[in-house]
Structures are given as C-alpha cells and as structure tokens.
A and B are shown apart, each in its own frame.
Chain A
Amino acid sequence: MNAQDLQDEVQVVTTGCFGFCEKGPIVKVIPDNTFYVSVEPGDAGEIIAEHAIKGRRVDRLLYVDPTNKQQIADSRGMGFYKKQIRIALRNCGLIDPENIDEYLAADGYEAMGRVFAEMSPEEAIQEMIDSGLRGRGGGGFPAGIKWQIASKVEADQKYVVCNADEGDPGAFMDRSILEGDPHSVLEAMVINGYCIGATKGLIYIRAEYPLAINRLKIAIGQARDYGLLGKDILGSGFDFDVEIRYGAGAFVCGEETALIHSMEGERGEPTFKPPFPAQSGYLGKPTNVNNVETFANVPVIFNKGAKWFAGIGTEKSKGTKVFALAGKINNVGLIEVPMGITLREVIFEIGGGIKDGKKFKAVQTGGPSGGCLTEKHLDTPIDFDNLLSAGSMMGSGGMIVMDEDDCMVAVAKFYLDFTVEESCGKCSPCRIGNKRLYELLDNITKGQADKEDLENMRNLCGVIRDSSLCGLGQTSPNPVLSTMDNFMDEYIAHVEEDRCPSGVCKDLIRYEIIPENCVGCTACARNCPVNCIAGERKQLHVIDQSLCIKCNACFEKCKFNAVAII
C-alpha cells in the first residue's frame, strides 16, 4: 500500500477473527465490504492494484457459495453470516437496556398491543403452539402447550414465572438477555398472563446477577410509568404486574418445582410431578414457568407471525437457540443460531476454531445435565432431539469446547463434583449415588480403580438416571455415560495402565526433565514452590519425585521444552 502511495486513502488494519478460519487468510475491503478468501501474499498486490486503485473486484479470490456455486463479493451476502440469526438477542448490543424508549422504537410492546387488540387468549395460545417454540430452559417442552394447560385450569389467581436462575456453569445467555433487553421478557410475561388469565408475574433471578437485577428493576419501573405494566394495560382492561424474587445459590432451583418452593421461602427441594405447576404451583395456584430465552422469543412470534418463526429451524425444533460458547475456543461469546446448524459450523466457523491451534477433542453441551460430544457428532444438526439421542442434551445452552489437553475422566469428575455439591439431598439415588459416582471417578483419576469399577459405575449411572426424583438427578450421569461411550480408551488407560493420556490427573503423572533440552537456566528451580528441583546454573536439573506436588510451575516456566509430563 505504501509502495503504491496509497497510505492516505487506503488503510490496512488488523481485525478480530472473522470466524471463518477454514478460508483464511481473509481480506475484507471497506467501504464496499468485498471479502476475499484464501489470500496469499502474492495475491495482495493484485487486490491493491485492481480493487483499491481501479475499483475492480478480483473475482478469482471471491468467496464461492458452496450451495449455488456463485461468487459472492459482499460479505453480508455470504452464507457464513447467515449462520447466526438474532431473535432472542435481537436488541442485545443495539439498544440501551435502561431506556424503554429505545425498546419501543425497536417494535417493543407492539406484540403485546397486537395481542390485546386482535387476539383472544385462545387465539394467542394457538399462535404460540403453531410457532413450535419449545422451552429453552433445557427440557424443550412446547411452550404453547404449557400455556394451554395453565389456561385451562380454573383458579381465582394464577401466576406467570420467569425462570432466570441460570445455574449451568459456563452459561450466560439469560443474563445477557436480561442485561441487554429486559423489556422483551416483561412484554412476553404480560402476553403470557393475558393468555392464561394470570395477573401476577414473578421473575426468579440469581442474586449473583446484580446488573441484570438492576436493569430489570429499571425496566419494570419504566414499564409501569408508561402504563405497560399495572392496571388496565393499554386500556385493555387487563391488569398485570411483575415482581422480582431472588435465588440464593442453588442450581437445583432451576427445576420448576424447586424454584417455586424457593419463591415461597422454603428450601429449594423439588417435588414429584404431577401435580405440575400449571395445576398447582406458586402458593398452590396454577403457575406457568418459562425461562428467560423462551420469553424473549415470544414478542417476535407475535410481531412476525408463527409461520415466520416456524420457518426457521428443523422439523421438531423451531427457531433459534442462544449458546454461550466457551472453553478452548477462539471466539468465546454469545451466539444465536438457527436450530439445525451443525456443531462444526458453530465451533469452527462462528467460534473461530480451537485456541492455540490445538486439536478439537469434545464439546460439552447442556452443562452438568449434558454430555460430551465428539468429532463424530460434529456434523449432526443441533436440535433438542438429536442432542438427546447423541447422549447429551440442549440444556440451557452452555457449550464448552475441550481440546487435546483435557482429560475426559477429569471432566466427568468435574461435573459430578458440581452435581454432588448442588444435589438437594432429598432423594437417595441423587444424594448418595452421585457421591459414590464421584468417588469412583476420583479413584479412577488416582489409579485406584479397576475394570470392574467401570461396570459398577455404568450400572450406578443407569439407576441414578432411572430412579432420581427430579431432572437434576435424572441427567446427572450424562457426563459420565457420554464420556464412557466416547472416550472409553481414556478410562481404560486410567484403570489398566495407571496412565492419564492427557497428562491431567496429578496422581498418574510425573514431571521429568529431559536432559537433551535442559540448558540449566534455573527457571524451574527458582519457581518450584517446594524446592524439589536441584541443579546448578548451566547444569542439568533434576526433580525430586518424592517432594514434587505436581503444581505444573516448572512446566509453565521452562522455555526450552525441557520439562515433560510423563
């Protein structure tokens, strides 16, 4: 560019990952958004000469749409950018969440007005059913049907509850929606109230989300001031108001009966269903519980029509799903993709691939209730049913990517540790079974288990799944079962060879100094917290295995690859 004396007119800037790594290196020319893929150094001259100076596109380097074989120049027309559709997140990052006017300007509360003016509750529920929207909290129960059940129960008082007790570690979809677009949830709750005949709404939110709580409070206040909450909303004669209830750090309260008990000031222990909350919920009254993301979809369904919504996604899973992409992935972030997208597209295209160029090993979906999916699942279209049959589940949408450095036994143990801590303790299989499962896994990571234990563990998993009281226990063995199904070789290596193939399990590894590589820089010795590395400057260093606590410090400090994990 400088050579062509164009530095004043054309700027070259580095940008973040375009999320399109398979076709890298990528060059994009602004202002016309031309997107060049697979650019090699030799091509750069051509781009400058042709495009920047003469304004002609270099067709040879344009992206070719794999479906219709046409070259696409404008990046916004490229298939990759169609991969994300923002419905639940439509306003996140675009409007000021603390200003109701911005929400109103973005068609806010229009769905509510439309429902009041044009639809009977039955018609509105039918619209919900037709949309095919399934609950986004994990179970995937059709939201419209849930509303219909609650609407048909006779009662003097009913409740609408928004489940914002997002507890999956590594998931933050609901928090982002509440922080970025709180009114969309409020609007949906009013519509829900109108449909089932409830005049009170409650939002059960984690106390760990102070910002979301604050923005919700502001939103509720503004909606009340505008007459969009409270008595006689928009002159419809319909009353509805919303209160906030706080969780206090119990994952199990994501289960709707536990959540209701918690809102009643009780220990958050689930109760057997039936009766379902739709029959007997908060204070014994019919209650409809949906989660944040489910609600955030609702206004769009009424604004754009059930048909439009049902046009997105797969046959049985309509619309989009928000995922919190995290772990060993380049573009950690919040994404919203249509149902039916493949894991490969999510991880390698949107997510920009694995961090530090490492090898993809597994992706965990559905949090502690889900399972680990592998290479062979990468091209499976993501929807509720496919994930279930692959041994995982949609869950609320956490997606944690793991690479070759992660030991799958240790990962399963991590999830079980979580379950053991979060089990409410009410039923025996979950209270004791998960503890025993954790202990068995712990023994495996310490090399203290044998093959028989693996069989024992499998049976235990089956019984916990089959006989636990609530969803937490019924799904808690999934991380174990899915890793056993997909990474049995790692389990076998642990129990039969006392070896952790990923070098993670402390009791099965040792650190050793490779004499050929050691230059005697003393970095390892100086950083060893227990002073178990001996050696003079410029001399070979040696680790005293009897003292080593396997803290990994020497490994991290060594610049010469002279410390090996064996």
Chain B
Amino acid sequence: MTRPSTVATLRRIGLGGITGSPVAFAVVLVLMALLLAVPFAHNGYVETTFRYILMYATMAYGWNMIGGYTGYVSFGQVAFFGIGAYCSAVLSTMKIDNLFADVALACVVAAAFAILIGLAVLQLKGHYFAIATLGVGLAVTDIVSNLDALGGTGGMNISQVDEAHFSVYYYAMWLVALGAILATYFIARSKLGYAFVAIRENEEAAAVLGINPRRYKIAAWAISATMAGAAGAVFAAANGHLEPSIAFSPDSNIFPIVMALLGGIGTVAGPFIGAVILAGVNELLQRYFVNVHTLFFGAVIVLVVLLLPRGLVWLFGLRGGARAWLKSLTVNKA
C-alpha cells in the first residue's frame, strides 16, 4: 500500500504524475527511428552494442509491466528470456531457422510458462514474490543445465545467416523492442493498464471495484514474459550458440531492472531512456576503467538509488529545483 504521506510529498514537489505522457512517447519513437540507421555504420560492434541495448530495453519493458505497472517486483524475468532463447535453439535443431517462427514460439512458450508459474507465485506479495521469482529463475537454470535434450551445460548451436546479412538480427531486435514500446504505451492507456495500476496501488480496493486481481496479475506477468521471451529468441539467433550460463545470465536479470529504475518505473519512456543511458555509462566504464569498471558500476547503482530514486523521467518533471530534489531524497529516511 502506498503511504499517502510519501506520495503527497512527492506530488507537492512535482514527482508524481500518471504515466503515458505523449511527449515521452514521441521522444522514444524519434530515438527508435534514429536507431534504424545503426546498421548503416557498417560496424559490427556498434550494431551489436545497440542490439544489446534494444534487447535490454525490451526486457526492461517486460519487467516494467509486472514490476512497474502492476507493482510486483519480479527477479525471475531471466527465466522467460532464457526460455525464449531456447525456443530458437530448439527450432534450429529442427531445421526451422526463421526469426518470425522463433519469436512466435518464444512468446507462446514464455507466456504459457508465466501463466503456469503465476498461478502459484502470484499469490505471494512483496518480498515473498520477489524471492519466489528469483527462485524460479535459478531453478529453471538448474533444470535446463541438467537436461541432455537441451545440451546440458554444453548448450546448443543455432545456425546463422552470413556476415553480409547479419543486420537482420538487429532489425528483428528493433522490431521486438518497438513492439514492447507500443504494447506498453497502448496497454498503459487502456482499461488493462488501469487494472494493473489499481492492483499496484491497492489490491483489495481494486477487487472491490470488480477487478479480478489474480487474472490481471497473471495477464501482466504473461505480457511481461512475452516481451522477455521475444527478446531471448532474437538474442539466441544472433548469438549462434546458447548455454545456460548465457541464456540465464544474471546480467539479463539485473540490467533491465536497473535500467527501468534509472529511467523511471511505471512510465512508458523510462525503460528505454534508462537502457540507453546505462549502456552508455557501462561502455564508458569499460573503456576507461578496464580493471575496475565493475567497481564503478556498483557505485553507479548506489548513486542512482540514492540520488534518483524515482528515475530520470521523474526528475525532469521536477518543479522546485535542487531544493525540492534534495527534499525528495529524505522522503524515505527512517
């Protein structure tokens, strides 16, 4: 439940506001349009970097649906990502190398898994839900690692297009990311979005207004799983090889969350902005602090949490300047 006092304080200094501002959406779309030009740089590394950004952004949108809009903080999104990735690998072993088929199967399987698991874990709240989802992610990793049919820890290979046509993976990821952005935008403004937010704000009160919390929580989770699964499918195809440590990497779990938080959770623009900035910061750290960049990355997270607790999107809506910002930082002091 939200503490009225906290929210009120944040409101007074301009940190509140419901999501889905058309301006934010427009900015994201413009940036997305610019990203269409990336393959023309003919630099594989730049293309891969942006493909990763789009991938993490898609996952951040996925996380945002359940964690940002519905208020259920999931640490198990990597399971859906990995499952989506393995869909590509399995299809490739069946000689089906079609990105559309990959993504379609990944979406269906990830959503089905989310619904199945959701029936159990979405009964939990708060920390318990968070831990249960973390457990789901790790358990799936462990089970896949022990399945010979999926190559065990050795993994599986996926046939790829040649270097000349490699940008097809970039565009596929771009489309998946665009799908996630548009889906988030339209869902946020729809009845569905209001059901999610109502559940986040107060599940009991939402039920009294006729919202079936269980059904809508599962819907939110299935949507978020679809996004993660689709990103995983394209990732696997572009990677050419898949094994549990890659498919279920802790990075794929934590990066999207940090990105969504940095940008602003429960917003349409936040995950994308967060993904772009975090990737940029990581890039700079890798370049200039080879030996200690992880140390700095830890420091960046600590600073973001302490100084930008509601993300950049909110910060730029702040009224009242530095003083108001400083005041917002003490809201959660014990």
To the question of whether A and B form a pair in one complex, the answer is no
Report which A residues bind B (CB closer than 8 A).
none
Report which B residues bind A (CB closer than 8 A).
none
